[in-house]
Amino acid sequence: MRRALLRPLEPRQYRRSDEANSICMAGMRGLLLDIGCGFFSDKFTFGSDVTYVGLDISNRARDVRADAHSLPLADSSVDSILLVGVLEHVDEPDRVLAEALRVLKPGGLGYIAVPFLQMEHADQDYVRWTRQGFQRLLDAHDFITERMVTNGGFFLVLDYLIWHRFRDAVRRRSPLALALLPAKALSRLLAALARSAACNQYATSFHARVRKP
């Protein structure tokens, strides 16, 4: 019931993330390794030509429980990789990227996404990237960037941040939820009307479609 009431106020950022997913995963086929999949069972939708394998260090991992810093796979053994919302949570992002590149076949596709203007959202949450910093990170690991998608805009970020504070207040049944409700409704309207969707200075996240040379 609570989820149904909250859904109309969900931030526009979520829809933009879905659009980025579609762009960055287009054409992926064969064996796809989702590194840091968590326990989600329906995070992404794939066609019948994709064999999905979800890997995570958690005991709730979908298919394989392993550390992303040392993947239990052979060199050049997967057709595609996902690293979506993962690098900010690991001890050594460079090592995880090196492992992802190692297991990816030459010419294989990857979808890598990182946060920028987001709140701390886990017990292990260590770092944020600007667009330039993210591109520099990908270049350092010899990934070829085919497409970079910005999920951002001033009002979109504002809407996203107010949403999380509002949702937390609702969950705690705090009176603050009622006080935040007009601000949340207004921020969502402004996010929907704003034309600054690709503003790198104000972005919640950056999404890259990459290829291994």
End-to-end CA distance of the chain: 49
Domain edges within the chain: 2-153+199-211
CA distances from 130 to 82, 118, 133 (A): 20, 12, 5
Kindly indicate the confidence band of residue 2, based on its pLDDT and cuts at 50, 70 and 90: low
Superfamily name and number for 2-153+199-211:
Vaccinia Virus protein VP39 (3.40.50.150)
The pLDDT score that the predictor gives to residue 188 is: 87
Residue-wise pLDDT tens digits, 87-113? 999 999 999 999 999 999 999 999 999
How many C-beta atoms surround the C-beta of residue 80 within 10 A? Answer: 25
| Sheet with 64-65: strands ordered across | 64-65, 50-56, 30-35, 78-84, 104-115, 203-211, 144-152
Instruction: Specify whether the backbone of 129 is left (phi greater than 0), alpha (psi in -120 to 50) or beta.
Output: beta
Q: Return the residue matching tokens 């190692």.
A: 102
State the chain's mean pLDDT as an integer: 91
Measure the CA–CA gap between 28 and 40, rounded to whole angstroms. Answer: 19
Please, what sign has the CA dihedral across residues 104, 35, 145, 51?
positive
Q: Are 211 and 109 in contact (CB under 8 A)?
A: yes
Kindly indicate the confidence band of residue 199, based on its pLDDT and cuts at 50, 70 and 90: confident
Per-residue pLDDT at 195 exceeds 90 = no
Please, what sign has the CA dihedral across residues 89, 119, 165, 11?
negative
Residue-wise pLDDT tens digits, 36-56? 998 766 678 888 999 999 999
Closest alpha carbon to 88 in 132, 62, 122:
122
Residue-wise pLDDT tens digits, 66-81? 999 999 999 999 999 9
Percent of the chain surpassing pLDDT 70: 94
Q: Are 140 and 104 in contact (CB under 8 A)?
A: no
Q: Are 35 and 82 in contact (CB under 8 A)?
A: yes
The pLDDT score that the predictor gives to residue 62 is: 85
The pLDDT score that the predictor gives to residue 1 is: 41
Per-residue pLDDT at 135 exceeds 90 = yes
Per-residue pLDDT at 147 exceeds 70 = yes
Measure the CA–CA gap between 118 and 66, rounded to whole angstroms. Answer: 27
The pLDDT score that the predictor gives to residue 15 is: 81
